[in-house]
C-alpha cells in the first residue's frame, strides 16, 4: 500500500521590504516553487517574535521560515541582527523540546533574489519532508486510561456519598 507523500506545512514570516518582495517577484516571474510555505508579511524580520515561531509549531506547523533583509541592509537599521541572535537562541531552545532545529530556518533574501528564495524554499520543503510531520497536538493527548481513571473516582465517590447519607 503506497501512502501519500507527506506535504509539510511551513509558516513563513517575511519582511515587507526584501523577502516578501522577493517572494512576490518569484510569483510575478512565474517561477515554480512548492506551495507549502504560508507567508505572513511582517514589516521587519525583527518583528518575528520567538513566540510566533513556538505558536506556529504548537498549532500544527511542521516548519517555520523567517526571511529578512541581508545583514546591514535592514530598513530599520539593525533589527535583523536581533533576529539573527533570537534565531540562534531558538536553535538552542528547540532541541530541548525535542524539535529538530532543521524545522526552523532564517533566510536573507533581498527584493532582487526571487530565484534564490524559491530555491531555498524548495530545499527546506524537501528537508522537512524527510523529517516527517511534527503533529504537536499528539504530544498533549493522554492515553485513554486517564479518563477511565477519572470516571472510576466519580463512581467510587458517588457510592461513598450514598452510603454516608
Partner 1 sequence: MSEKGKLAIYWAASCGGCEISILAINEKLLDVAGAFDIVFCPCIVDTKVRDVEKMPDASIDVCLFNGAIRTSEQEYMARLLRQKSKVLVAFGACAQEGGIPGQANLHNRQQIFETVYNTTPDGSGTPSTDNPQRHVPMPELRVNGFHLTLPVFYDTVRTLAQTVPVDYFLPGCPPEAPRIWEAIVAILEGKLPPAGAVIGPKTTCCDECPRTRGEKKIKKFRRIWEVNPDPDTCLLEQGLICCGPATRAGCGARCPQVNSPCIGCYGPNEGVEDQGARLVAALASVIDSSDPQEIERIIQEGIPDPVGMFYRFSLAGSLLRRAALVPDELRHELPRPRPAGAATARSAS
- Per CB under 8 A, does 161 bind partner 1? yes
- Kindly tell me which of 38 and 158 has the beta carbon lying closer to partner 1: 158
- Residues 26 and 115: beta-carbon distance below 8 Å: yes
- CA dist 5 and 132 (Å) reads 10
| CA angle 131–55–95, rounded 5-degree value | 45
- Per CB under 8 A, does 50 bind partner 1? yes
- Per CB under 8 A, does 98 bind partner 1? yes
- CA dist 62 and 83 (Å) reads 20
Give the residue from 138, 142, 136, 133 showing the smallest Cα distance to 59: 136
- Of 16, 100, 116, 119, the one binding partner 1 (CB under 8 A) is 100
Least distance in angstroms from the C-beta of 85 to partner 1: 4
- CA dist 100 and 131 (Å) reads 8
- Per CB under 8 A, does 144 bind partner 1? no
Which residues form the interface with partner 1 (CB under 8 A)? 2-6, 49-51, 53-55, 57-58, 71, 81-82, 84-86, 88-93, 95-100, 102-103, 131-132, 134, 136, 138-140, 142-143, 145-146, 149-150, 152-154, 156-157, 160-161, 164-165
Amino acid at each position: 500500500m503506497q501512502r501519500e507523500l507527506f506535504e509539510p506545512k511551513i509558516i513563513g514570516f517575511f519582511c515587507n521590504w526584501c523577502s516578501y518582495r522577493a517572494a512576490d517577484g518569484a510569483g510575478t516571474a512565474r517561477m515554480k516553487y512548492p506551495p507549502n510555505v504560508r507567508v505572513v508579511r511582517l514589516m521587519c524580520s525583527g518583528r518575528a517574535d520567538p513566540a510566533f515561531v513556538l505558536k506556529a509549531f504548537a498549532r500544527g506547523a511542521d516548519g517555520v521560515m523567517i526571511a529578512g533583509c541581508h545583514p546591514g541592509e535592514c530598513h530599520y537599521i539593525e533589527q535583523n541582527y536581533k533576529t539573527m541572535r533570537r534565531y540562534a537562541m531558538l536553535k538552542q531552545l528547540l532541541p530541548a523540546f525535542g524539535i529538530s532545529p532543521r524545522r526552523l530556518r532564517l533566510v536573507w533574501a533581498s527584493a532582487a533574489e526571487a530565484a534564490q528564495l524559491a530555491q531555498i524554499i524548495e530545499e527546506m520543503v524537501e528537508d522537512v519532508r524527510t523529517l516527517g510531520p511534527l503533529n504537536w497536538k499528539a504530544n498533549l493527548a493522554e492515553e485513554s486510561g486517564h479518563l477511565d481513571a477519572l470516571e472510576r473516582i466519580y463512581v467510587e465517590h458517588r457510592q461513598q456519598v450514598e452510603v454516608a447519607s
